[in-house]
Amino acid sequence: MIDRHTRIPLFVVFSIVSAIGLVVFIFIIWRSFVDKRHEGSTRSEEPKKSVIADIIKTLKVAGKLLRTRNMLLLLIPFAYSGK
């Protein structure tokens, strides 16, 4: 059991680490948004792909990845542990 004198500093440390992670995550999203906005204003109009086509392409790539040797070997411990 964690006593009160240990619990409070742990809570503070974990809260600070979570806040720092949240700030970094927001910065990454903001930076990506700025890059996309800048990229969209500088390039010419390109025909946009269908969203369904992108989804299908992504699923095909994921299927190919799942059939690789390393992923099949990784499936064994996942199946054994049940996670």
Q: Are residues 37 and 5 in the same domain?
A: yes
21, 51: one domain: no
Residues 4 and 35 in one domain: yes
Rounded Cα gap, residues 8 and 20, in angstroms: 18
Residue bearing tokens 């969209």: 40
As given in the structure block, the two tokens for residue 73 are 């070997």
- Distance between CA atoms of 52 and 14, rounded to whole angstroms? 40
Q: Do 67 and 61 meet the contact criterion of CB atoms below 8 Å apart?
A: no
Q: What is the pTM of this model?
A: 0.43
**Structural domains counted in the chain:** 2
Query: Are 15 and 55 within one domain?
Result: no
19: pLDDT confidence band, cut at 50, 70 and 90? very high
Digit-coded pLDDT (tens) for 39-76: 766 655 556 668 888 889 999 999 999 899 999 898 88
Whether residues 57 and 83 share a domain: the answer is yes
Say whether both 70 and 40 belong to one domain. no
Q: Are 44 and 38 in contact (CB under 8 A)?
A: no
